[in-house]
Amino acid sequence: MFDAVVMAGGGKPEPLTELEGVSNKAFIMLHGRPLLAYILQALREAPSVDRVVVVGPKSELEMLRQEGYDFEIVPEKESMLDNVAACFESADQNRLCLVVSGDIPLLDAGVIEEFLKLCAPYNHDFYYPILNRETCQLRFPETERTYVRLKEGHITGGNIGLINTGWFLSNRDRLEMFISYRKKPLKLLRILPLSLIIKYLLKRLSVTDLERSISRLLCFKARAVPCDCVEIGIDVDKISDLELVRKTLQ
């Protein structure tokens, strides 16, 4: 059994939330229910998920819980890592925890179980799903995703992950550095091995190369999990995403 954490923090105002009249996209209404409700239902219907914790705006979450959804509330904090840490501090640090983005309403119990099964035998510290472009475009040709070209083809990431909570709490400083550099390519290049950069430029960089480099950089065992669960890649970031999700759910 796994605990699950749903990241439903508010963030900054954006065109999507302003259009829908909400301050947090997790509470956009989809066919009479908040977007977040679909995720909570999927987690509760997944046999492998035990405790569910949601981090986000306390008042809105309390109202949702009063409607019958069973989960624990952690009030949102300043940053994403602060939010994750607040949830993990009360979790079992000897178990892996499933972390789920709060904007993937096409998630269902079957998808969750498939991802968890692919992660077995659970001897790594971090599992991250990767999706190939062909599968994404076949299932949802309307969606726009950012892909990275690797030796195996064009891939993109999903919006869930399985992580060792004890490692996270002990190594948060490493993650803060890595995340702070994600939008500063020059600084990021300085901490990545030159061999990795050369392989990427020559179109020879593989998933295994990335696993090994990130594992060394962050001092943990990371594993990429190829899967066909395209639903975990459909996050609601743009108006076109919302239109696709509404159409699909209908």
Give me the chain's average pLDDT, please: 89
Distance between CA atoms of 10 and 62, rounded to whole angstroms?
15
Q: Percent of the chain beyond pLDDT 70?
A: 94
What the block records as the tokens of 13 is 């105002």
Distance between CA atoms of 149 and 133, rounded to whole angstroms?
10
Structure confidence at residue 187 (pLDDT): 65
Could you please state the CATH topology (level 3) that the domain comprising 2-249 is classified under.
Answer: Spore Coat Polysaccharide Biosynthesis Protein SpsA; Chain A (3.90.550)
Looking at per-residue pLDDT, the higher value among 11 and 198 belongs to 198
What are the residues facing 157 on neighbouring strands? Answer: 130
pLDDT in tens, 136-186: 999 999 888 888 889 999 999 999 999 999 888 888 777 777 666 655 655
Distance between CA atoms of 156 and 147, rounded to whole angstroms?
5
Structure confidence at residue 130 (pLDDT): 94
- Residue ranges of domains in the chain: 2-249
User: Does the pLDDT value for residue 191 go beyond 80?
Assistant: no
pLDDT in tens, 65-106: 998 899 999 998 878 888 888 888 877 777 899 999 999 999
* 1, burial (CB in 10 Å: exposed 0-12, middle 13-18, buried 19+): exposed
Residues 26 and 56: beta-carbon distance below 8 Å: yes
Structure confidence at residue 45 (pLDDT): 97
Distance between CA atoms of 16 and 28, rounded to whole angstroms?
9
Structure confidence at residue 136 (pLDDT): 93
pLDDT band at 40 (very low <50, low <70, confident <90, very high): very high
